[in-house]
Amino acid sequence: MFAKYRFRDYNFRLVLMLIAISVIGILVVGSAQKDIQGKQIIGFAIGFVVMVIISFIDYTKILKLWWLIYLVNLVLLILVLTVGEVHGGAKRWLNVGIAVQPSEVAKILLILFYAQFIMKFKDKMKDIRIILLGLALMVPPLFLIAKQPDLSTTIVVFMVSLTLLFIGEVPYKYILATLGVAIPAAVMLFIYILGPNQKLLDPYQQKRILAWLHPEQYELEEAYQQLNSVMAIGSGQLTGKGLNNNVVNSVKNGNFISEPQTDFIFTIVGEELGFVGSAVIIVLLLGIVIECFIIAFRSKEISGRVVAGGMGVLVGFQGLLNIAVATGLLPNTGLPLPFVSAGLTSLVSLFAGMGFVLNVGMQREQKYNN
């Protein structure tokens, strides 16, 4: 399973960017909630070691266990609904000595599963039956995540999974046909869920959307956090108020943002590190995504292309959603900012995914030499 690789083929650019953004995350999390900074450091250390180990394992050997990967994913998600812990009205955690969030693991496992699925049927990806099978296999994990309930993660997993099929060279006519149906359907669905008698969303989820559309009507309720977030980011100006500051007019110090260490961590970045710090986070995220896409483009196997491309899409899409929520561009969704937000499961899972990306990059060099 472990193969011989050339040390010079290791993508140190990607590793350095991952270290940089994680260190910033540790500092910002510590400023947002000091007592969990130690846990974030431990998560970084574990995740980094896991990434390095996985990066030297032949990913193609792991992908051969694709059905086992899929079943393990379903079992974990089922266990959440049956014996999981409830926090904040949602059942998303398993207690195994520490709180583990299987929906974060599911993002990585589904990328691995679809990488081998597409590799297995690479000569049949133009067959509508194979495409429908790929779509059908999305339904069980999506349903289980949605039942927690975790609508935001459901959306992320759905969009990433669809993108994987696109990377897997599904014919454009099917993609265009899907978009032709999906876009009008999404518009009609959006109109429906805003109605008073809609049954698809929980009341609190509908209110989040209404608060985004009409913040002035919900400024003391559902729009409260986002309005304060936008104000905090703006108040940071160019260089911010400084980490761990005692400024009286700080939104964070006034406790006007709930969960600043997770969903609204970008608010802390904007207020305490200013435009410069926010730009650094965005550039690092963009750099990580670009490196993933470069590795995907250079991969000689479609499975490697799906793994690296899928991780790039996951980091980019989730990062975009988190920042858009913090800046008021999208309704409050409750997603962590990759490598920055507090969360042991999210951090370790993302580093594990990046380990596979690094291995894909080294596999390319081996194939060129064979």
Give the confidence band of 71 by pLDDT, cuts at 50, 70, 90: very high
- Looking at residue 293, its pLDDT comes to 95
pLDDT digits (tens, 9 = 90+) for 5-22: 777 778 999 999 999 999
Residue with tokens 């997993």: 157
Q: How far apart are CA 87 and CA 292, in angstroms?
A: 34
Alpha helices per DSSP H over the chain: 12-32, 37-55, 59-63, 66-83, 102-120, 128-136, 139-146, 151-167, 172-193, 203-213, 224-235, 265-298, 302-326, 344-369
- Dihedral over alpha carbons 103, 356, 111, 49 (to 10 degrees): 0
Q: What is the pLDDT of residues 83-128, one digit of tens each?
A: 888 776 678 888 877 888 999 999 999 999 999 999 998 888 888 8
Contact 164, 114 (CB under 8 A): yes
Mean pLDDT value across residues 203-224: 74
pLDDT of residue 368: 41
Delimit the domains of the chain by residue range.
Answer: 24-170+202-369
- Residue 369 scores a pLDDT above 50: no
Instruction: Give dist(CA 218, CA 227) in Å, integer.
Output: 10
Q: Is the pLDDT of residue 156 over 50?
A: yes
Q: Which residue has the higher pLDDT, 238 or 255?
A: 238
pLDDT at 43: 94
Confidence of residue 76 (pLDDT cuts 50, 70, 90): very high
pTM for the whole structure: 0.90
DSSP string, 160-200: HHHHHHHHTT--HHHHHHHHHHHHHHHHHHHHHHTSTT--S
Cα gap 326→110, rounded to integer Å: 27
334, 321 contact by CB (below 8 A)? no
Residue 85, beta-bridge partner list: 93
CA dihedral of 168, 174, 180, 183, whole degrees rounded to 10: -30
pLDDT tens digits, one per residue of 258-317: 778 888 999 999 999 999 999 999 999 999 999 999 999 999 889 999 999 999 999 999
Farthest CA pair distance, the chain? 65
Residue 9: per-residue pLDDT = 78
